[in-house]
Structure 1
Amino acid sequence: MKERVLTFLKSFNIDDFQKSLRDWFKAEKRDLPWRKDKDPYKVWVSEIMLQQTRVDTVIPYFHRFIEKYPTIQALAEADEQELLKVWEGLGYYSRVKNLQAAVKEVDEKYGGVVPVEKEKFSQLKGVGPYTTGAVLSIAYDQPIPAVDGNVMRVLSRVFEIEDDIAKARTRKLFEQITEAIISHDDPSSFNQGLMELGALICKPTSPACLLCPVRDHCRAFQHGTETNFPVKTKQKKGKTVEFIAALLMDEKGQVFIQKRPDEGLLASLWEFPNIPLSGKHKNMVTFFEKTWMEHHSGKVEILQPLTVINHVFSHLTWKIHAFTGEITGDIQETNTFKLVSIDELSQYPLPVPYQKVWQAYIE
């Protein structure tokens, strides 16, 4: 692979590329809250939030998160349910659970200081090569590649790289290329410049090549092939799983909620009771009421349809047929099954599809 890297770098003016990119970033960078200083904790939090999430979405979450957990120690000591509530709506909840586990290790092993050493930081839970490079280059000026989708898109056009970016080996190639061209004088501006270029100029469709600060170095621009890159195989369409869910209230107006398992999709979050459906269940209401009686105390009566929610995850789609209903009799509450008031409901972290169910009810 090293020979391929050298082939791509042949006749490539690294110094001029670095300067053009850094100068543009310093002049045009967006005013983002995690760029106010180089606090490695804040940079780390922002990078975890930005995974699979748009910048505009992240900004208010970042402000609330840092206000509630301003230090590593504060996050390490946070109650998990409160933490999930703060994260509610960002999705991919394993990110924040891994972040807290990693922060606890930093608090215990490194005195609450994010380690500057690549070997130490990269071994923390939930920290991969990209997060390692991003945090250590931005916060500590370490010349470590930070290769994400934006960076691969930019470099695939600059060097006309035809390798499939969906493959792990291709990411390795981009990491080696970035390692060869990264600025050692200012790796922070270099890495952020590549990311910013991908976000603002070198977009997936209709790249603004005439505004690009490194277009003179871009082989795709020179050959008019920019829309051919990056090369990426299409993912297979995820399956759809259907549920019947019930927003159940007792005679006091309390709402019944249940906690999801501590492992797996949307772990440890709360939801309205639901049951997976299959084609053989023609009458959803009867099926729900019968299944409830088999597994829970109290009597349930489904009243009327409420809404249908389609929620797309990266690998599957949930189709939730939501109904309203009443629950009567002796309800046995546990740590994972609760009746809560409407005011109390706001204290529990709900996944987005069940937030939508509740929103449909109150509207």
Structure 2
Amino acid sequence: MTDEEGDRSDGVEGIGDGDIDAVRGALVSWYEADHRSFPWRETDDPYEILVSEVMSQQTQLDRVIDAWHDFLDRWPTAEVLAAADRADVVAFWSDHSLGYNNRAKYLHEAAGQVIEEYDGDFPESPAELSELMGVGPYTANAVASFAFNNGDAVVDTNVKRVLYRAFDVEDDDAAFERVAAGLMPEGKSRVWNNAIMELGGVACGKTPRCDEAGCPWRQWCHAYGTGDFTAPDVPTQPTFDGSRRQFRGRVVRFLGEHDEMGLDTLGHRIRVDYTPDGEHGREWLRELLEELADDGLVEVEETGDETIARLRS
């Protein structure tokens, strides 16, 4: 990378000082004219937005929509969720294939914190929201942005890809953070973060659709001008089928349907190749249950010669 190219990642100088307002305006106008409709984009309720953000982690958005509606029908407010049986929340999570079940546990605990520590009023800044159980920096910033218009520039995989291609930003987290912060108009985190993530999801995906999607940044875009549409390296997600995550989910689902279950009965329920003394047998299942117990999701009781597992209430 040349010195000139290196300078481009230190801010938004690569756009040109006279173009920054045009770049911002073009993206916001493009987004406001037409964007994908998701129900959580139609609300500024921090609880509803938090639920959507937690559900969306490593889950396709189309699958999240029904789960989000079902969840809010059952637990419409943080107060109702906090009062719910955690086992029911975890079972819902597993039934809807929403990924790691400890996210359900943390969401339940976060709702309790809002009620007990904040008198039912959600904190509004990213720093305060990060104090909620299971809420990391990205989720905290998203809730602050979309509920309170009080966030910083979001930098997720989609945003990194956009910045890398459009403004030739080096593949470095600090560089992405600097450029994203420099681009976002002050006090506009709600519309801006929605817009730039929409750009990455619709126009600048793995296979770019610049002209088809009417990308608003074509006249400034380095990739569009050069034809080089490479993207930053993204860690490959492990496959779900056959993973420990899949079997953890099956354990929680079956225990949610029964008050308790013996070790071998549970083993045969969750995998067809379960053999008590085999590779995927009692030792393997006990390790799986220990993980779930460490996450506060299940209880394991040794009763004589029998091992009994149940969801933790």
Structures share fold, TM-score greater than 0.5: yes
- Counterpart in 2 of 1:232? 233
CA-CA distance at 1:185 after TM superposition: 4.5
CA-CA distance at 1:110 after TM superposition: 0.9
- Counterpart in 2 of 1:30? 36
More helix by share: 2
Number of residue pairs matched? Answer: 269
CA-to-partner distance for each residue in 1:189-241, whole Å, 9 max, x for gaps? 11001111111111112433452122122111111112x1x221655978x77
Q: How do residues 116-155 of structure 1 correspond to structure 2 at under 5 angstroms?
A: 116-155=124-163
**1:6 counterpart SS class:** coil
**2:219 counterpart SS class:** helix
The structure 1 residue matched to 2:80, chosen from 74, 77, 83, is 74
Letter of the 1:225 counterpart? D
The structure 2 residue matched to 1:217, chosen from 214, 217, 220, is 220
The structure 1 residue matched to 2:174, chosen from 172, 175, 178, is 172
C-alpha distance in 2, partners of 1:77/1:61? 20
**1:133 counterpart SS class:** helix
Q: TM-score, normalised by structure 1?
A: 0.64
Letter of the 2:89 counterpart? L
Gaps of 5+ in 1: 164-169, 245-253, 261-270, 278-282, 296-329, 338-347, 350-363
Q: How do residues 1-363 of structure 1 correspond to structure 2 at under 5 angstroms?
A: 4-6=9-11, 9=14, 11=16, 13-88=19-94, 89-163=97-171, 170-210=172-212, 211-226=214-229, 228=230, 230-232=231-233, 235=236, 258=261, 272-273=266-267, 287=277, 334=308, 336=309
8 Å Cα contact 1:158-1:219 kept in structure 2: yes
Taking a change above 3 Å as real, the CA distance of residues 233 and 103 of structure 1, as seen in their structure-2 partners, is closer
RMSD: 3.9
Taking a change above 3 Å as real, the CA distance of residues 36 and 331 of structure 1, as seen in their structure-2 partners, is farther
Identical-pair percentage: 30
Of the two, which has the highest radius of gyration?
1
Letter of the 2:87 counterpart? Q
Q: TM-score, normalised by structure 2?
A: 0.73
CA-CA distance at 1:53 after TM superposition: 0.9
Taking a change above 3 Å as real, the CA distance of residues 109 and 273 of structure 1, as seen in their structure-2 partners, is same
Taking a change above 3 Å as real, the CA distance of residues 9 and 40 of structure 1, as seen in their structure-2 partners, is farther
| Greater RCO structure (CA 8 Å; 6+ sep) | 2
C-alpha distance in 2, partners of 1:256/1:74? 23
